[in-house]
Every structure is written in structure tokens, then in C-alpha cells.
């Protein structure tokens, strides 16, 4: 209140506006009860600690069927019900089921097809997040599938082994469709069965575990709700689900277990580690294996990021996978915008006797140097509010064109008092530096999504997709889904030489 003499909250010494302060306060209020699950409690209530005991479900593995040499998958988007709280069914959506979807699995070099039937009452898309593929098959907001309609995108897998995922991308309603459960993993393998990667735990559902982590906002009846008032991040949940289950327990039968972790939340950031602070090895980021196993005690993931970690277990022990308070940069107050809280995610219970695992290899993959930066096309992106470079998404506007396989360097600035992140369709990129400093080693591998902390500049390098298409665009956007739905997104075309490189006032050539 004016004249009260109380100092105003600041960011970097700059007073927050009243609107920023209200949003920060609203975000902090939503976070306050998170511990994590809210069985039978309404948002805003103080909730009891979750009882861990439900077995972690493993999404079914779908390796498709060969159809004239094409590995073919079939997905049906459908409505259903799912019980986050026992005896309290919630309305949900899923692929081939009531909630989430199967784990699709293919091999580098294969031709794949995904036949999709939309059995929802609303239009949707299926975006293959992290996949390097033609824009026409990417599943962005131009590729709408109307109720009762079908489509069958097809492409050849031309990228290294990785943990990718798929989810809807309808402009304006992505948060709700993903929030109701439309998400699944898409694992890529290398064709060879030997080499360093073969020493990693790799038996699906036994020592190689998919882990789709989401915060869900549940009401007193256990139903999914969304934040009607809005805040700077969008909906922040009051419950934590792993593979759709609150208070999940993973039985461990081997002395090493690999967790393929996806942050599938709309706006929440996680900093994954273990309650006893044991160290683990990170072996892969968004786009594939790191050069070597990286020993860490925590790894932070913004929405849509992935990390593969390997943790060692001893017979008979239990340890909690926990999210510690994330590092959200220069935020004041520090518990605003989803920060300031620890909460439990999954408990790992080791059997009395554990099967031995192979020793982790010293080296995992040969990572080539980042794309050429000397002769690259440089572009500047400024993230502010719900805009990129002062513009909100226009489905009819192409922001720039680029050459197939062209080398790019992007300077990405977040000028807000709260966090964003960046996802680019159709490519995997390398993070060169953050505010001129080398990136942390967990972000030094292949990435398709990176965090953008307040008042931070990130510089990335990559090559444009090799597929020319003058009609179908690729997207780039913030993957905080409320931000995306509200227009924090742009699009570009990849065209043959002669037309590429036009239409981008922020683009220029270095060299």
C-alpha cells in the first residue's frame, strides 16, 4: 500500500509491478500445500502427506507391426476415466486407453508410420516432440485431426537413440488436452546391439523404466481442474503423478536401474534427486546419449525436458526420488513462480536379492562439435509476457524462412521476472553458452528444449531440418503450455535456396 513504508519486492533491484506481484503471490499460494498429493483435498487446503504404496504402473510397450517394411503404430485418442484417488474417477483422455499412452519404440534407419484415429469430441493433433522429421508429419497446430477423422504420418528415423515423446498440439487448447492425459514416450534405439550403450540397463519395465512425471491440480472429488484465475506460469498442480499414479512405488530387482524421466507438466519445474542425496549417473538428455556418464546429485527439468539417469541400489533398501526446490534464477520472493518446495515423486524399493548389472561404460557416444557458428545465420529471440519478439502467434504469419540443413545460431533472451523455456520443432540443438558462460554439463548434449531463467540469455547452434517444404511450417515456442496457448509461439518454413532466408528482420549472416 502506498505510503506504508514497506519495501516493494524486487527482481535485480527493480520493483515488481502490482500485476507481477499479484501473479507471484498467486503462484506461491498454489504451491504452498504441495507435499505432493492431495487425495480428497481441494486446491488451497493444507494437505496430508501422500501415502506411498501403489505399484508404479509401466506404460505398455508398443513396437508396432511391420507393414510392407514400414514399422506401423496405431493410436486412438479417446476419452475415459482414471482414478488418481481410489474410488473417485476423474474424466481423462488417453491414447489407446483412459490415461497417457503406450511407449512407442523404433530403430534408427527404420521407416515408421503412426496411424491415428481421433475418437475425441474435439479436434486434436499428435506432435512427435524431439523427432527430426518433415514438417508435414510433425503434428503441429496446422495438422488438426477433426473428430472421427484419421491420419497416418510417415517418415524415416534419421537420428540417434533417444527418449522422445508425443502429445497434442492444438493451438489454444494444448494445456487442457495434455493436462487430461494425452502424452506418451517414443523411444528410439540404435540398430547395433553392441557398443557402450548396450551396457546400460535396457530391459523395458525391469531395469529400464519410463517415468512420466506430472503435477495435477485435483479438486476435493479427485477430478482434474485447471487454474481459473491464471498466474505467470499457468496451472500449477497440487498433486504429483508418476505414470498417472500418486504415491507410486517401483520394485527394483537389479543393482542398477535406468529411469527415463519426462517432465510432462504444464508449467512446473522439477529438480530430481534422491532423498538421501546419493549420487547417480545421467546418461542422456533430450536428444540422446551424453558423451560420458555424468555423476550428479540432482538434475533440473523444465516442462518437456527429459533426462535418463542410472541409480545404484543395495539389497533391501528403499529410497525416495524427490524433487528439491528448483533453481529459478533471480526471482524475488524465491518461493514464487513454482519455487521453494521439496516433494516426493516415486519410492524405489529394492528386493532382498538383486541381479547384477553391467558396469557403466566410461564413454557413451561420440558427440560431434556444434554446428558451424562462423558462417551461420544468426537470429535473436526475445521472450516477454506471452510474446516472442513483440509478437503473439498468428497461424497465417511465417516469421522467417531458412535453407534445408542450414547452420543457425540463435540468441534467446528472457526479459521477464519469471521463467520461460524454448522448444524448437524438427531439430536437436546444442547449447553454446548462458550469459557468455559454458552451459552446465547436463545441458551440453543434444537438446530440443531448454530453460530460460529470468534476465538470462542462451545461445544455441543447430542445423535446420534437411526437408524442404514451402507449405508446412515448423514451430518454436515456450513449452509452458499456458504461454504456448496464449500465443508465445512462432513458425518458420524450410525452403530450397532462392527463397530461404527471407522474411526475418532479426536475421543476418555472419562470416
Three cell numbers, residue 241: 503423478
Residue pLDDT, tens place only, 29-38 = 333 334 344 3
What sign has the CA pseudo-torsion 317, 323, 325, 328?
positive
Of 410, 399, 405, 422, which is closest to residue 377 (Cα–Cα)?
410
How far, in Å, CA of 449 to CA of 421, rounded? 7
User: How many angstroms separate the Cα of 235 from the Cα of each of 152, 177, 239, 260, 497?
Assistant: 32, 13, 12, 24, 43
Confidence (pLDDT) at 49:
58
**Which domains, and CATH codes, for the chain?**
44-54+199-355 (2.60.40.420), 57-192 (2.60.40.420), 377-509 (2.60.40.420)
Angle at 306 (CA atoms; ends 303, 310), nearest 5 degrees: 140
Other C-beta atoms within 10 Å of 14: how many? 11
Three cell numbers, residue 391: 509478437
Confidence (pLDDT) at 370:
82
Cell 558427440, residue located: 367
Cell 527430426, residue located: 132
Residue 371 half-sphere exposure toward CB, CA atoms < 13 A: 23
Residue pLDDT, tens place only, 15-62 = 444 444 444 444 333 333 343 443 333 334 333 457 899 999 999 999
Confidence (pLDDT) at 22:
43
Q: What are phi and psi of 114, to 5 degrees?
A: -120, 105
Confidence (pLDDT) at 174:
97
Q: pTM above 0.85? A: yes
| Residues of the chain under the 70 pLDDT cut | 1-49, 228-230, 332, 334, 498-511
How far, in Å, CA of 218 to CA of 90, rounded? 9
Confidence (pLDDT) at 292:
96
Confidence (pLDDT) at 44:
40
Residue 431 Cα to chain centre, angstroms:
16
Three cell numbers, residue 178: 495434455
Residue 109: which region, alpha, beta or left (left: phi > 0; alpha: psi -120 to 50)? left
Of 164, 156, 154, 193, which is closest to residue 103 (Cα–Cα)?
164
How far, in Å, CA of 182 to CA of 179, rounded? 7
**DSSP annotation string for 31-80:** HTT-SS--TT--TTS--PPPPP-EEPP-PPEE--EEETTEEEEEEEEEEE
Amino acid at each position: 500500500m502506498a505510503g506504508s513504508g514497506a519495501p516493494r519486492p524486487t527482481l535485480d533491484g527493480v520493483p515488481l509491478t502490482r500485476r507481477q506481484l499479484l501473479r507471484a503471490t498467486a503462484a506461491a499460494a498454489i504451491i504452498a500445500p504441495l507435499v505432493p498429493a492431495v487425495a480428497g483435498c481441494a486446491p488451497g487446503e493444507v494437505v496430508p502427506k501422500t501415502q506411498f504404496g501403489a505399484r508404479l504402473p509401466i506404460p505398455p510397450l508398443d513396437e508396432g507391426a511391420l507393414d510392407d517394411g514400414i514399422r506401423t503404430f496405431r493410436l486412438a485418442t479417446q476419452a475415459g476415466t482414471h482414478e488418481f484417488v481410489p474410488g473417485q474417477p476423474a474424466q481423462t483422455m488417453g491414447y489407446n486407453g483412459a490415461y497417457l499412452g503406450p511407449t512407442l519404440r523404433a530403430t534408427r534407419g527404420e521407416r515408421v508410420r503412426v496411424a491415428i484415429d481421433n475418437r475425441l469430441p474435439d479436434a486434436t493433433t499428435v506432435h512427435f516432440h524431439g523427432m527430426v522429421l518433415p514438417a508435414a508429419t510433425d503434428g503441429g497446430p496446422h495438422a488438426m485431426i477433426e473428430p472421427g477423422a484419421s491420419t497416418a504420418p510417415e517418415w524415416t528415423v534419421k537420428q540417434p537413440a533417444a527418449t522422445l515423446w508425443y502429445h497434442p498440439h492444438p493451438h489454444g487448447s494444448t494445456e487442457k488436452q495434455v493436462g487430461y492425459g494425452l502424452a506418451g514416450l517414443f523411444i528410439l534405439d540404435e540398430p547395433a546391439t553392441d557398443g557402450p550403450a548396450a551396457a546400460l540397463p535396457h530391459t523395458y519395465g525391469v531395469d529400464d523404466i519410463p517415468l512420466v512425471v506430472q503435477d495435477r491440480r485435483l479438486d476435493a472429488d479427485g477430478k482434474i481442474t485447471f487454474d481459473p484465475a491464471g498466474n505467470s506460469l499457468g496451472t500449477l498442480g497440487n498433486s504429483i503423478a508418476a505414470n498417472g499414479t500418486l504415491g507410486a512405488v517401483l520394485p527394483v530387482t537389479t543393482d542398477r536401474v535406468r529411469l527415463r524421466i519426462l517432465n510432462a507438466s504444464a508449467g512446473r519445474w522439477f529438480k530430481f534427486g534422491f532423498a538421501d542425496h546419493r549420487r547417480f549417473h545421467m546418461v542422456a538428455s533430450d536428444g540422446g546419449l551424453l558423451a560420458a556418464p555424468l555423476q550428479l546429485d540432482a538434475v533440473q527439468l523444465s516442462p518437456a525436458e527429459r533426462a535418463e539417469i542410472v541409480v545404484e541400489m543395495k539389497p533391501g533398501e528403499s529410497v525416495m526420488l524427490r524433487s528439491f526446490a528448483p533453481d529459478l534464477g533471480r526471482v524475488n520472493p524465491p518461493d514464487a513462480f513454482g519455487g521453494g518446495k521439496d516433494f516426493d515423486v516415486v519410492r524405489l524399493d529394492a528386493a532382498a536379492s538383486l541381479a547384477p548389472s553391467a558396469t557403466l561404460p566410461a564413454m557413451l557416444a561420440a558427440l560431434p562439435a556444434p554446428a558451424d557458428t562462423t558462417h551461420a545465420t544468426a537470429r535473436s529471440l526475445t521472450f516477454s509476457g506471452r510474446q516472442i519478439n513483440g509478437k503473439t502467434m498468428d497461424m497465417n504469419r511465417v516469421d522467417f524462412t531458412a535453407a534445408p540443413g542450414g547452420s543457425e545460431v540463435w540468441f534467446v533472451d528472457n526479459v521477464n521476472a519469471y521463467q520461460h523455456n524454448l522448444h524448437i520443432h524438427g531439430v536437436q540443438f546444442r547449447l553454446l553458452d548462458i550469459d557468455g558462460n559454458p552451459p552446465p554439463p547436463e545441458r551440453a548434449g543434444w537438446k530440443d528444449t531448454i530453460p530460460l531463467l529470468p534476465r538470462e540469455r542462451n545461445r544455441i547452434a543447430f542445423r535446420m531440418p534437411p526437408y524442404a517444404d514451402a507449405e508446412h511450417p515448423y514451430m518454436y515456442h515456450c513449452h509452458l503450455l499456458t504461454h504456448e496457448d496464449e500465443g508465445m509461439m512462432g513458425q518458420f518454413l524450410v525452403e530450397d535456396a532462392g527463397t530461404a532466408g527471407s522474411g526475418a528482420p532479426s536475421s543476418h549472416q555472419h562470416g
